[in-house]
Structure 1
């Protein structure tokens, strides 16, 4: 808290500089140096990237991911995302925004490297990886090697293959692990770990674990062997090992460092949305203690969701529920100091449970599964100690042992845990097919839950030749085309 208070005014000015310098007339000209200053301390560039990047991802996940993954269902005419219908420019904002932040981190890395500032070099690599991995997981092949090259004036960057992008990102995370050094200075306005190099190292390796699991269906990436190498050498490759280690944006509630949902109109945040039936059904069946953190109760005091993918009139009727109403997002999610996750201890445990279940590591999958559930409950500040946790894990609908130790059960619990964790549940669904989500009769895209986002209008208009080549290579720029790592 003392660290954050000390830098709060500095953050305001940094954000203003970053936003001003990042707004170019032509967003597709991604390589235009987004940070117009090179004499600043590299650590001062970290906070605005964290703050702005987190908001870009969290805001768009609330708008898109939560509808696709049926965490929520929009009942009004505001959007048709639950029916897989998108405006042509829907994806422009997240494309441009994440590229700007990735560019900022690329510049931060270069400035830090000039000063041999290893900890800020490592932090820049981790944050850049977070932004770029989201971009490629949303769209597939994207500009990368020619898109972050500063002053070289490459106006029309080529689209790199997703395989080559992942190879580069995974190498960067391995480099970051080697760079972080607790014995050297880490001078930064760091809104996640307050300059704790040991925790940044765990973050880097946990991000690498996440991405390795994501590409584990691709034999050419040798992901299981890399995961085993990390798991068997925790001294060299430490992972997030507690809720205290996890990468969270823990807002102070003091402007500008606040949860920006606080300033969003109630109608836009939750007013016309209802909780999705799949999420509420799973949580009701398991008598989940996290429900009150996620949702409100309806008039009789029950947690009730509505089905997704129906026409507007049917959806409104489902929401009314014969006058009994249905659940909406919990109001606490909108509080000015409510924290949102980037990468949690719960997720790390579920990743290791999957690795153990598939035989990539020699470990007890049930133990990691149980720890994943426990970590999620504690992340959401739910009572676990005493009999609450043991009772929950012993339920027939939760227990992970014998014939119930399946990917479907693991991913169903991970689906609950990844609520408001960016687009991670959508990426997991596309990789594993879990949880099984019912597809409503009014959905477009031939009733196929989107496998990727279509390239933004802005890149089609300003970098058409590169776009056309990429679209042909991936098999067509549409919502049904699989990205490289999907089954």
Structure 2
């Protein structure tokens, strides 16, 4: 028994294969026949909740600092300066790989059980796999993939680090397979549908999410001809739309709507106010842009610094001279349902607007852009002001060139990606189309980091495969380009 426990702990670190959504699932990994909790429907809710909660935790801690949403007053945690301690790199690696075990078990249990709607559970599993794996490879580059999460099944605790191009190629295959499985529209048992907090196990809703995620990932690598992403983008959006349904309204958005009670409680609901917003404030970049846009979401997302006035802090401020905190997160956000965003309809419209603006697909980019803006604002319960598109910071002006129009698209996309894992950072790395402010005391030569380094414990316990991955990179450093970064012009 001690050997089993020891092997499992090593697997968490190296191949991150020992996982649990609940206490019972620990026993299930030891004896797959011990509990009915291994049924695929029992894995969906806990897995999504743990994924979204971990993503949100590091969105606020890391992404928001990189992307000048917020600025911390804690000088031991200075992501806004592009300063990253090596100890920071493990949390998401561990969180994502742990949930991949549950996601892949969902697929296998569905296939073995042959219960009604098992094809639907398999399709859901493939979409969750593509989502989780994309987050991992977009953060670290080459990662264990084909041999990952096999520690408790095959005792493989030193998985190979696969190349990002091969990972992306297989993610596309998984999304194709998910689309085909969900097209069968196999209903699950009524008593099981509510196990799914996103879409109540509705195959068509999941199919729309999977194909919309496909668009996100295809756009991310659209400059890499090796995988023919432009051909597939055109197929999904022009020549074969019936075969690839995508999100068509806010009702199709993939949002884990948090509650004020278990099992899907907002992870900040019971935090003290000071622990939620006490050591950071909004940045000048964020507040100034919201004011320029006259965005009605500002009063939902930020407090007033003084009566009727919103203000932000300087990102990358001089060391030892902490500026005064002004606007912060309102405590009402601790109870809102909408912090659990995975992918929303507005993001899909902004993807389409960019592709139209670049003449990759046919259509009016301004119309798609306006539809994205309106759906992004109304998702948060705000009303689009009647004169919103008369604002020069919002409208496509006759004098705007393509880059200026793309900047407007990406500023609005930046806002629709609020509280969404690391998507703001990933998109900035792809496009460079936000005019972020340059702080006075930035580190890393003032360069936005491209990746996080591999966790220290992985470096020591899977050294040979780690060394091989680093040799391909040239160095395990935050400025080293991964495959999809190579070839970008910015």
TM normalised by structure 1 equals 0.90
Question: How far did residue 294 of structure 1 move?
Answer: 1.4
Cα distance in 1 between the residues matched to 2:314 and 2:337: 31
Kept after mapping to 1: 8 A contact 2:17/2:98: no
Kept after mapping to 1: 8 A contact 2:253/2:344: yes
Kept after mapping to 1: 8 A contact 2:56/2:339: no
Q: Judging changes above 3 Å, is the alpha-carbon distance between structure 1 residues 399 and 42 closer, same or farther for their aligned structure 2 residues? A: same
Kept after mapping to 2: 8 A contact 1:177/1:237: yes
Cα distance in 1 between the residues matched to 2:16 and 2:270: 32
Kept after mapping to 1: 8 A contact 2:55/2:420: no
Cα distance in 1 between the residues matched to 2:471 and 2:378: 46
Superposed, 1:80-159 pairs within 5 Å as: 80-116=78-114, 117-149=118-150, 151-159=153-161
Aligned to 2:44: 46
Work out which of the residue numbers 176, 198, 204 in structure 2 matches 1:174. 176
Cα distance in 2 between the residues matched to 1:300 and 1:22: 58
Cα distance in 2 between the residues matched to 1:183 and 1:101: 25
Q: Judging changes above 3 Å, is the alpha-carbon distance between structure 1 residues 108 and 21 closer, same or farther for their aligned structure 2 residues? A: farther
Superposed, 1:241-252 pairs within 5 Å as: 241-252=248-259
Question: How far did residue 438 of structure 1 move?
Answer: 2.0
Aligned to 2:229: 223
Cα distance in 2 between the residues matched to 1:57 and 1:147: 20
Q: Judging changes above 3 Å, is the alpha-carbon distance between structure 1 residues 85 and 383 closer, same or farther for their aligned structure 2 residues? A: same
Kept after mapping to 2: 8 A contact 1:241/1:345: yes
The Cα RMSD (Å) is 2.0
DSSP-derived class of the 1:342 partner = strand
DSSP-derived class of the 1:263 partner = coil
Cα distance in 1 between the residues matched to 2:483 and 2:468: 16
Aligned to 2:22: none
Work out which of the residue numbers 14, 21, 24 in structure 1 matches 2:9. 24
DSSP-derived class of the 1:73 partner = strand
Q: Judging changes above 3 Å, is the alpha-carbon distance between structure 1 residues 211 and 327 closer, same or farther for their aligned structure 2 residues? A: same
Gaps in structure 2 of 5+ consecutive residues:
20-24
Question: How far did residue 240 of structure 1 move?
Answer: 0.7
Cα distance in 1 between the residues matched to 2:366 and 2:112: 47
Which segment is superposed worse, 240-249 or 434-443? 434-443
Superposed, 1:68-467 pairs within 5 Å as: 68-116=66-114, 117-149=118-150, 151-180=153-182, 181-185=184-188, 187-188=192-193, 189-232=195-238, 233-314=240-321, 316-317=322-323, 319=324, 326-335=326-335, 337-384=337-384, 388=385, 390-404=386-400, 406-467=405-466
Cα distance in 2 between the residues matched to 1:474 and 1:296: 43
DSSP-derived class of the 2:173 partner = helix
TM normalised by structure 2 equals 0.89
Q: Number of matched residues?
A: 457
Question: How far did residue 347 of structure 1 move?
Answer: 0.3
Cα distance in 1 between the residues matched to 2:227 and 2:103: 26
Question: How far did residue 45 of structure 1 move?
Answer: 1.0
Question: How far did residue 22 of structure 1 move?
Answer: 12
DSSP-derived class of the 1:100 partner = helix
Cα distance in 2 between the residues matched to 1:433 and 1:478: 20
Deviations 1:252-285 (A, max 9, x none): 3212321101233333321111101111111111
Cα distance in 2 between the residues matched to 1:362 and 1:450: 34
Kept after mapping to 2: 8 A contact 1:143/1:157: yes
